[in-house]
Amino acid sequence: MANQDSMFMKSPYEPLMIERAEGAWLFTRDGRRILDAGAGAVVVNVGQGREEIARLAGEVVGRVNYVLPVWNTPDRERLCQRLARWTPPGLNHFFFASGGSEAVEAAIKFALMYHKVKGRPRKKKIISRWFSYHGNTLAALSVGGNLSRRADYEHVLFDWPHIPPSYCYRCPWEKTYPGCGIECATALEDEIRRHGADSIAAFIAEPMMGATGGVVPPVKEYWPMIADICHRNDILLIVDEVMTGFGRTGKRFAVEHWNLKPDVLIAAKGLTGGYIPMGMIAVDDRLIAECEQLGADFMFYTYSAHPLACAIADKVLEIMEREHLVERAAEVGARLGAQLKEELSGHPMVGDIRGTGMFWGLELVRDRATRTPYEPGLRVTSQVLAAALRHGLFVYPSIGMAGKAGGDGVMVTPPFVIEESDIGYIVRNLRSALDEVHAGLS
């Protein structure tokens, strides 16, 4: 039976009634135990059921339950001091939101405002990438590249340019790395030239494609080249780390893999580990100083920097530091990836396995040799999710990486606190799910 309040008619999910959660495990009303290898929507990095967070929440609400976002609280002050140690050097100005989409909106609006106050109001297009996901509000969808999520709103979205991502498995130029000239990066320069740099405010991308691409780390030359192109054309570089931030890829932020310093970094999800909704942007001090000098102002959301969210975010990051969870994500994640590759890369449905840290994706294809995706009508990802649930496992869906042809995949992105033995459980039960679905398809 579908959830009575559901508006998600095409959802790939089975309905579940979850009564309790602990660590990486979900417990349903009908007595099932499910290993959440998606960490929810790639959120619950520190695991569920942390008593100290529950106690802190009670204490904070008893002390102060709301403060106008223009004022400060000790929890917010502590969080900002801690965040400054986490974010790339120089990105020490923070703006808080209630989730990823709101934070993406804030980043886009900041870029538009920045150029306007600098006397360049014509710089108002945002370049982004196909097969990306940046959230569900209208500006976020406008920079998004998931065709089916955009479909019902195409008529009202901003007409902003998109370029293909760094995605060797389905290279649109049909080239092979490393002899390809990294055309996915030079495509940005071409697109800027086509529109004129004086019309482009920013480039926004996920450092590694997540929900639509099914986890796609780019080639190593990609980000340094992109940063250089943005810099030379006076275009702000906005990196969306909503999914990859706070340890998910085995570094505090994915940008650290390439020593990349964006102008604006967006984060959410892992910031509070799902204990409360929160998103944020971190902005380069230099840009903020310029804006301040020019008298710019930036409107808050009612729930920006909510005291409880700030306190919980600070506690979640403190836990990550105390338990060395970023390092754990790198170490345990490497073993998870190795085992996924060892046991599933030969599976007839598995076209590609890719990732790093606790961020792994499997792209599912009808024909491994030709990389032909399954027809979207077969709803293969939904079938795999349902089969995995029957085996006590949740993996996160990823649909759309083949563009108009669809594309199916699952993401294996467990909480960083999984036990060594859970790796075997995940791989074994995912294999059983794939076997069952494959038998039904052939």
Whether residue 276 contacts residue 307, with contact meaning beta carbons closer than 8 Å, is answered with no
The residue among 206 and 422 lying less far from ligand PLP, judged by its C-beta, is 206
What part of residues 117-156 is at the interface with ligand PLP (CB under 6 A)? 133-135
User: 341: how many CB neighbours lie within 10 A of its CB?
Assistant: 17
DSSP letters for 292-352:
HHTT---PPPTTTT-HHHHHHHHHHHHHHHHTTHHHHHHHHHHHHHHHHHHHHTTSTTEEE
The residue among 135 and 217 lying less far from ligand PLP, judged by its C-beta, is 135
Could you tell me the end-to-end alpha-carbon distance of the chain, in angstroms, rounded to an integer? 28
Residue 101 in the binding site for ligand PLP (CB under 6 A): yes
Residue 268 in the binding site for ligand PLP (CB under 6 A): yes
DSSP letters for 239-289:
EE-TTTTTTTTSSSSGGGGGT---SEEEE-GGGTTTSS--EEEEE-HHHHH
Shortest distance (Å) from residue 99 CB to ligand PLP: 3
What part of residues 217-246 is at the interface with ligand PLP (CB under 6 A)? 240, 242-243
Selected binder of ligand PLP within 38, 88, 207, 210 (CB under 6 A) = 210
Instruction: Select from 53, 13, 93, 116 the least CA-distant residue to 276.
Output: 53
Selected binder of ligand PLP within 163, 211, 280, 358 (CB under 6 A) = 211
For residues 189 and 294, what is the distance between their CA atoms, to the nearest angstrom? Answer: 30
- The window from 161-169, 206-214, 294-302, 415-423 that contacts ligand PLP (CB under 6 A) reads 206-214
Whether residue 431 contacts residue 343, with contact meaning beta carbons closer than 8 Å, is answered with yes
In which order are the strands placed within the sheet that holds 393-394? 18-22, 25-28, 33-36, 393-394
The contact pattern for ligand PLP, residues 40-79, with x = CB under 6 A and - = no contact, is: -x--------------------------------------
Length of the chain counted residue by residue: 442
The residue among 80 and 204 lying less far from ligand PLP, judged by its C-beta, is 204
The residue among 248 and 438 lying less far from ligand PLP, judged by its C-beta, is 248
The residue nearest ligand PLP at its CB is 100
What part of residues 22-41 is at the interface with ligand PLP (CB under 6 A)? 41
Shortest distance (Å) from residue 103 CB to ligand PLP: 7
Shortest distance (Å) from residue 269 CB to ligand PLP: 7
Binding positions for ligand PLP, rule: CB under 6 A: 41, 99-101, 104, 133-135, 206, 210-211, 240, 242-243, 268
